[in-house]
Amino acid sequence: MVKKSLNPVKIDYKKCIVENRLLQIRNDKIVDLADPLKVWTLEINAKDSKKVVDFIRRTMQPNDPVPLMHIKRIKKADIQKKTLRVVLCSVEMIREKQCVISLLKQLGPNFQYNNLNDTHFVPRQAAPTKELVLEWSDKYWPLSWYGNPNDQILNDYTFDMNAIKLLLEQIAIKATEELNSGNCYPIVSLFVDPKDIENPIIAVDRRTNTDFTILEHSIMSGIKAVAEKESKRREQVAKRVKKDTGSVYLCSDFDVYTTHEPCSMCSMALIHSRIKRCIFVQPMPKTGCLKTESGNNYCMHNNRNLNSKYEVFQWIGSEYPVPQIPEDTCC
């Protein structure tokens, strides 16, 4: 992790643009939403606080599907009685009260409280501004402020701009070649495996080819090609060792470059295959599924109803023109 001021990559944190070319695509509609979340809380005597905090760090925090690093775990409850209220975990982690009570037994027979409840709410995500930290702390639960969490996310990404430019150039050229050779879906995607960056897989849209189905969008073709390559690799590994340590997901941490903003089928397939990042060139306002205002506003890579996410950037320079296609084309 490099300090923001020492990052050699030029990042406009306000506009979320890297090196004046890569625009971070986020779900704008949820950036400023607290999205309150129910949590299990307990009112305890101050003398028990260290014991409980240790218990939370050890047992609750590592297993909670909602990272609650942005909230203060403890707040004052009753000043006269010297009691504190502590957030144990999200209700999404443990739904049944009895299960929480069972876990609390780990704190020993002298740890006896009968006030476990799920009536408190905390913001699901860290606030993007100091003003919102104050507002949400007042409304829901005291929060910590470590700066805008998205600044940290942008600062922690790795951007090899030279490699990105070369790959975008490759897909733009290939898409033009497809157009010139009569493919009426000149859409191209490229898959980069972090474990084999020298050999990216390039995939074209094949839905007009009678040997393939109408579902063979370039991203689906790419995923299929990755699957075939992985299947061969596993066969080879199986000949040498009994147990393969490969990931259960097909495209773990892959970068995917694509000429046009993917449709809902393709952007969902990228969720299922667990890619890390998608960079596209041409937005598709009618059929795309990543930009906040595209398609049916699913913002698939950053959708709270899904258990996985990936990063998305749009190349906003004019260096890599891609073929124009009808606006109602799913890519």
Residue numbers of the site for Zn ion (CB under 5 A)? 217, 263, 266
Cβ at position 284, least distance to Zn ion in Å = 9
Cβ at position 269, least distance to Zn ion in Å = 8
Q: 175: which 2 tokens?
A: 């898409």
Of residues 83 and 267, the one with the C-beta less far from Zn ion: 267
Cβ at position 331, least distance to Zn ion in Å = 5
Cβ at position 205, least distance to Zn ion in Å = 8
d(CA 74, CA 144): 11
Q: Which of 151, 167, 139, 165 is nearest to 14 (CA)?
A: 151
Of residues 133 and 266, the one with the C-beta less far from Zn ion: 266
Cβ at position 299, least distance to Zn ion in Å = 16
d(CA 122, CA 94): 16
Which residue pairs from 144-149 have beta carbons closer than 8 angstroms and sit at least 24 positions apart in sequence? 144/69, 144/70, 144/71, 144/72, 146/70, 148/13, 149/70, 149/125
Distances (CA, A) of 145 to 2, 28, 62, 125, 130: 19, 21, 21, 12, 7
Of residues 132 and 263, the one with the C-beta less far from Zn ion: 263
Of residues 170 and 329, the one with the C-beta less far from Zn ion: 329
Query: What's the DSSP call for residue 194?
Result: T
CA angle at residue 18 from 123 to 321, to 5 degrees? 120
Of residues 88 and 270, the one with the C-beta less far from Zn ion: 270
